[in-house]
Amino acid sequence: MVTKEKLKDYAAKLMFDMDDEGYDRTLKEFETIEKHMALIGEIDNISEISPMTFPYEIYHASLREDKALECLTNEEVLSNAKDTKANQVKVPKVVG
């Protein structure tokens, strides 16, 4: 059973929060979501099927040559960061 507390926990695990009304609307939405999910469960013998994670099976992974491709410059990498120092992204101290 999905509850508002659980929804808050799911959101927190993905590192964001919502206002209370947002959680109410989400909880309401879950009534339909649960009904939708039940439609998958109705398929006969579904548990016997192997899950599909890619559109087709004849997939051959190929490794590219071990050579350097064009790389971004340090300046480019940092160009969108709001705070930088000594060629790095600056954040508050992580280790005390």
Partner 1 sequence: METIMDLRKSLDDKKVTSEELFKKSNTLAHKYQEEYNSFVTIIDDYKHVNSNSLIDGIPFAIKDNFSTKGILTTASSNILKDYVPVYDATAYKKLIESGGVLVGKTVLDELAMGGTGTTGHTGIVKNPWDKSRQIGGSSAGSASSVALGIVPFSIGSDTGDSIRKPASFGGIVGFKPTYGRISRYGLFAFASSLDHVGCFTRCVRDAAIVTDILKGKDERDMTSLPDENINYVDLLDNDIKGKKLFYIKELTDLNLYKDSGSETIEVLNKFKETIEKLKSIGFIIEEVSFDEKLLKAIYPAYMTISCAEATSNNSNLTGIPFGPRGEGDNINDIMFDARTKGFSELIKRRFILGSYILQRENQERLFKNAQRLRRIIVDKTNELFKTYDAMILPAGGGIAPKFDSEIDRMSPRYLMLENHLVIANFGGFPSITIPSGFVNNMPIAINITGRQFEDGLVLNIANKIEEQLGYKGIIKEEYDV
Binding site for partner 1 (CB under 8 A): 2, 6-7, 10-11, 13-18, 22, 25-26, 29, 32-33, 35-37, 39-43, 46-47, 49-56, 59, 61-62, 64, 69, 72, 76-77, 79-83, 89, 91-92, 94
Residue with smaller CB distance to partner 1, 17 or 87: 17
Distance CA 47, CA 40 (A): 11
Residue identified by tokens 């969108």 is: 80
Distance CA 31, CA 81 (A): 40
Distance CA 61, CA 54 (A): 13
Question: Least distance (Å) from partner 1 to the CB of residue 63?
Answer: 9
